[in-house]
Amino acid sequence: MNIANYIKFLPPIPHNAGMYDVFGIFRNNKEATFFPVVDGRGTVVGVVREYNLKDYTYGIFGRELIKRENISRFITKSLIVAMDTPLEEVLRLSASNENPDGIVVLKDGIYAGIVLNASLLWLFEENRKQTRARLLQAQKMESIGTMAGGIAHDFNNILMPIMGYAELLLKFMKKKDAAQISFINQIIVAAERARDLVAQILKFSRHGSEEKTRVSLEAMISEVLELVRSSIPKTIEIRVAIETKNCTVHANTTEIHQVLMNLCSNASHAMRERGGILHITLSDHTGPILGWSEDTELPQPPCVRFTIRDTGHGIKPEILTRIFDPFFTTKKQGEGTGMGLSVVHGIIKGCKGVISVESEVGVGTAFHIYLPAAAPAPDGKPAAFGDEALTLFTKHINILYIDDEPMIASMAKEMLSFLGFSISSVTDSRAAMDIFAANPLQFDIVITDQTMPGLTGLELSRKLLELRPDVPIILCTGYSEIVSAEMAKTMGIAEYLIKPVDFDKLKRTIVNLVNKAEVK
């Protein structure tokens, strides 16, 4: 008999059976063997040998109920069966007995164990499979992430001179020829597309660290729906249910925007032929998140649970474990890159949340996102965010620029001097240290790469800040395991930019920092 069929017989799970408290399992061979199985959060804490339902009877133990003093109390409310009663018989008896708390199993007339509820057998089996699958998925994502992050880093270093020199070429061209300008612009556009793709890969591998603020998911949903409504077919109805007052999380607005857009566009793609309903639900979630393995860090309650459900074509079980992989797509060439869900996954992980998916072919798909709810703001107001206005600089700005890649260092020199700054560009971080130490006040700003032989950007910054604590430093980095925006900030580094930095952004950052330093 298929194990799922047993469920049909089963009485409702008694509350004290503790769905989350399954703790041991024994089998009815000569000696009952106890294996710890699943702990209070549904996490496998031990190993269970292969078992076969037909040959053995299983008992599952609740942690407290195992205590001796509880046994007699428990027996009075329970069905009592002999150790060798076949499972089917136990199930039949427990179904006919009105709400038994559990089944006490006796062996030779002596207490041998308690079957709390046979449906737990099924839950356990499901849980074991899911936990294993999730663990494998987590490990796979981790290794793909590391690899992708490494490639993105090298790629950025290649892209930076392509973009920079194309821009320089455009600016220094003697004879302005329309065709040539358009060719160079094509190079820049292509390089920008590559840069955006690299940025997505970095986001997936959690190395793109965006600044986080308090974000209201409710507000974000209405903002995104404005956009989505105009772009999806009229045959798709959108239903929104906000079932919680606290929808504030700690995240980055651009990233949450991206998460919502990706999930909505996937849902709409799945319903584009037959139409359907797109449900967006926000609710509180306080209980444990069932079935997650200990290896995945779970968000601490209270959480905001946020669901995007569609009634589209669904996802086949055999590809369900691959949908979060970068570049996995079932769309036609040109319709999708397959980065959508991997970026979503990376962003949610970066917000200390988790994402899960349920899907049935022909019925639809639901993505659930659990994010830790943000504590209320002390002043009751949402935090401000956004680009600081660019104020024009009037003063002459002196820059110390350090990058160990000679090509990048020389390009930066040309570009920044073209923008009107004075720049000393150095490829050796120790030499940079000496130049700075000779006269710490001569530079208005220091821009440094992170990954360099000798002193890393962070080490160099630490030393420069010792010499002059108020020196504005911009740390440029591709991919790095250790450096995070927060860490750089706590060290006193003024700004943190992810490579390849476009020169417009760099210019704005420089001007903003110098202006700030002037005000002080």
Nearest approach, Cβ of residue 330 and ligand ATP (Å): 3
Retrieve residue 237's tokens. Answer: 């109805």
CA distance 446 to 36: 58
State the binding partner of 275 from Mg ion, ligand ATP, none, CB within 5 to 8 A by kind.
none
Quote the tokens at residue 244: 């919680």
- Of 100-108, 161-169, 251-259, 262-270, which part binds Mg ion (CB under 5 A)? 262-270
Cα separation values, 462 from 317, 401, 404, 456, Å: 51, 16, 18, 10
Binding mask 170-209 for ligand ATP (x = CB under 6 A): ----------------------------------------
Q: Are 363 and 276 in contact (CB under 8 A)?
A: no
Q: Are 302 and 309 in contact (CB under 8 A)?
A: no
What mask, x for binding ligand ATP by CB under 6 A, covers residues 81 to 120?
Answer: ----------------------------------------
Q: Print the binding letters for residues 465-484 with ligand ATP: x by CB under 6 A, - otherwise.
A: --------------------
Piece of 40-48, 196-204, 258-266, 493-501 that binds Mg ion (CB under 5 A): 258-266
Toward ligand ATP, which CB reaches closer, 44 or 270?
270
Structure tokens at 253: 């607005």
The distance of closest approach from Cβ of residue 263 to ligand ATP in the complex, given in angstroms and rounded to an integer, is: 7
Amino acid at 111: Y
* Residues facing 104 on adjacent strands: 80, 114
Would you give the DSSP letter of residue 42?
A: S
Least Å distance, CB 249 to ligand ATP, is 21
Beta carbon of residue 8, minimum distance to ligand ATP (angstroms, whole number): 30
Question: Which token pair is 360?
Answer: 């049935």
Which CB sits closer to ligand ATP, 344 or 458? 344
Residues with Cβ < 8 Å from 328, sequence gap 6 or more?
319, 322, 338, 341, 342
| 24 touches Mg ion (CB under 5 A) | no
C-alpha closest to that of 476 among 457, 489, 490 = 457
Confirm if 204 and 339 have CB atoms less than 8 A apart: yes
My answer on whether omega of the bond before 406 falls inside 30° of 0, hence cis, is: no
Of 80 and 363, the one with the shorter C-beta distance to ligand ATP is 363
Among 57, 266, 293, 461, binds Mg ion (CB under 5 A): 266
Q: In the 8-state DSSP scheme, what is residue 321?
A: T
Site string for ligand ATP, 248-277 (x = CB under 6 A): --------------x---xx--x-------
Other C-beta atoms closer than 10 Å to the C-beta of 282 total 19
**Per CB under 6 A, does 281 bind ligand ATP?**
no
**340/472 with CB nearer ligand ATP:** 340
- Note the residues at the interface with Mg ion (CB under 5 A): 266, 340
